[in-house]
């Protein structure tokens, strides 16, 4: 594991240098390849979902996909639908009109995702579900993480954090991801698989359990405020990602409960890691997005060249019953003692993490 992380760090450093040397061309919501003059523009189209439900889409996915497409010398167009389903479809139409032969999407829900995939297929455009499986969508490939495992790590994380605190019969609140995101369903299956036996045995007490539409962090705050009003003795929060976790932490702070009530997360965002450094968040799940982006772009580049790449595995679409050729990456649990692994892997930099008051905490956590 450690060895893997070290070699990955070296690879990331080399790539980062390469990127700096090339210079960037990315805008906040759209970026196209500058090398497109000699090539057919927008050969690979990527649609990201939004920039608010998680920092990852703009800070990690866009960056790593861009790096990979540039390295392959292929024309690309990466856009962000900013949580607008109509815009999502318009962007897809424009990409196809502009000559995209491969479309990679992070759907906003399976229904609108399927519409986009159907249209792409009818025009002979190859399709990849990136990170989120479009249920019943029939994309040619699916690249993601083992999302049930992500949830298992979160459930196990909460158990560990509560055990460390010697909590007795803690009331657990579950703040789930968007009901229209298949990943949120998988995360919940993972953590409920860990928590349900604890509820059944009476070790833990099941408290409020609610989904957050569109992973909206503001709504998450309102929902958690209501949860805490209805169950003031909440002693542990299973939050499905760092954004939802931070929303809960903000409410806990107002009630002087931060640090006392363990909160989980996901994505190893700068904010989530800082919350861990100061003890307000107990754990997060690090998903090495670089690996996901690399696997997806490898498929996309091959498809753009007219090849028919094979994936290493497959996932059954529960709606259509079809096996979708897939690449799934492994997630990693992050606690205070291994926050440094995320920095060593190049996912966040010490400069962005260890600002102001966090600097001393970084030193304590052994972050170099």
Q: Which residues bind ligand BGC (CB under 6 A)?
A: 53-54, 56, 131-132, 177, 181, 183, 215, 241, 266-267
Nearer to ligand BGC among residue 191 and residue 204 (C-beta): 191
Half-sphere exposure of residue 104: CA atoms within 13 angstroms, side-chain side: 32
Taking phi first (over 0 means left), then psi (-120 to 50 degrees means alpha), and beta for anything else, what does residue 172 get?
A: beta
Question: Nearest distance from residue 264's CB to ligand BGC, in Å?
Answer: 12
Measure the CA–CA gap between 231 and 159, rounded to whole angstroms: 19
Q: Give 58's DSSP letter.
A: I
Nearer to ligand BGC among residue 33 and residue 176 (C-beta): 176
Question: Nearest distance from residue 41's CB to ligand BGC, in Å?
Answer: 28
Nearer to ligand BGC among residue 318 and residue 366 (C-beta): 318
Question: Nearest distance from residue 147's CB to ligand BGC, in Å?
Answer: 7
Question: Nearest distance from residue 143's CB to ligand BGC, in Å?
Answer: 12
Question: Nearest distance from residue 331's CB to ligand BGC, in Å?
Answer: 10
- Length of the chain in residues, anyone? 368
**SS3 labels along 203-271:** CCEEEEEEECHHHCHHHHHHHHHHHHHHCCCEEEEEECCHHHHHHHHHHHHHCCCCCCCCECCCCCCHH
Question: Nearest distance from residue 254's CB to ligand BGC, in Å?
Answer: 24
Nearer to ligand BGC among residue 198 and residue 287 (C-beta): 287
Question: Nearest distance from residue 267's CB to ligand BGC, in Å?
Answer: 5
Strand partners of residue 75? none
Measure the CA–CA gap between 293 and 202, rounded to whole angstroms: 42
Nearer to ligand BGC among residue 285 and residue 301 (C-beta): 285
Long-range Cβ contact pairs of 222-225 (< 8 A, separation 24 or more) = 223/175, 224/173, 224/175, 224/248, 224/251, 225/251
Phi, psi values for residue 68, rounded to 5°: -70, -40
Nearer to ligand BGC among residue 133 and residue 252 (C-beta): 133
Q: Write down the H helix ranges in 76-213.
A: 85-97, 110-122, 147-164, 182-201
Nearer to ligand BGC among residue 88 and residue 204 (C-beta): 88
Question: Nearest distance from residue 122's CB to ligand BGC, in Å?
Answer: 26
Nearer to ligand BGC among residue 155 and residue 177 (C-beta): 177
Question: Nearest distance from residue 225's CB to ligand BGC, in Å?
Answer: 21
Nearer to ligand BGC among residue 60 and residue 96 (C-beta): 60
Q: H/E element holding 290?
A: helix 289-304
Contacts of 143 (CB under 8 A, 6+ apart): 128, 129, 130, 131, 292, 295, 296, 299, 326, 327, 328
Distances from the Cα of 130 to the Cαs of 5, 52, 231, 282, 320, in angstroms? 24, 18, 37, 28, 18
């Amino acid at each position: 594991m450690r060895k893997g992380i070290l070699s990955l760090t070296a690879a990331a450093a080399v790539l980062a240098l390469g990127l700096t040397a090339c210079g960037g061309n990315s805008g906040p919501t759209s970026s196209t390849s500058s090398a497109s003059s000699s090539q057919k523009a927008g050969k690979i189209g990527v649609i990201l979902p939004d920039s608010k439900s998680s920092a990852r889409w703009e800070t990690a996915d866009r960056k790593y996909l861009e790096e990979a497409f540039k390295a392959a010398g292929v024309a690309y167009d990466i856009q962000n639908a900013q949580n607008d389903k109509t815009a999502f479809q318009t962007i897809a139409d424009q990409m196809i009109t502009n000559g995209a032969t491969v479309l990679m999407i992070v759907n906003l829900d399976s229904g609108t995702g399927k519409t986009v995939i159907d249209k792409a297929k009818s025009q002979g455009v190859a399709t990849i579900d990136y990170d989120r499986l479009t249920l019943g969508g029939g994309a040619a490939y699916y690249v993601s993480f083992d999302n049930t495992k992500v949830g298992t790590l979160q459930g196990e994380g909460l158990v560990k954090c509560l055990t460390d605190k010697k909590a007795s019969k803690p009331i657990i609140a579950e703040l789930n991801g968007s009901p229209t995101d298949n990943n949120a369903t998988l995360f919940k299956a993972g953590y409920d698989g860990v928590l349900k036996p604890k509820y059944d045995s009476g070790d833990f007490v099941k408290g409020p359990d609610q989904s957050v539409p569109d992973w909206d962090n503001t709504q998450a705050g309102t929902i958690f405020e209501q949860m805490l009003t209805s169950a003031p003795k909440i002693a542990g929060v299973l939050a499905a990602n760092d954004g939802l976790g931070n929303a809960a932490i903000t409410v806990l702070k107002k009630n002087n409960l931060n640090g006392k009530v363990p909160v989980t997360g996901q994505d190893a965002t700068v904010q989530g890691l800082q919350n861990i450094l100061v003890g307000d968040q107990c754990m997060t799940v690090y998903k090495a997005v670089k690996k996901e982006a690399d696997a997806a772009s490898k498929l996309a580049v091959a498809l753009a060249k007219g090849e028919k790449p094979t994936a290493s595995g497959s996932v059954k679409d529960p709606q259509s019953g079809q096996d979708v050729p897939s690449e799934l990456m492994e997630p990693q649990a992050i606690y205070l003692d291994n926050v440094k692994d995320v920095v060593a892997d190049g996912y966040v930099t010490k400069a962005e993490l260890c600002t102001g008051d966090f600097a001393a905490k970084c030193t304590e956590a052994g972050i170099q």
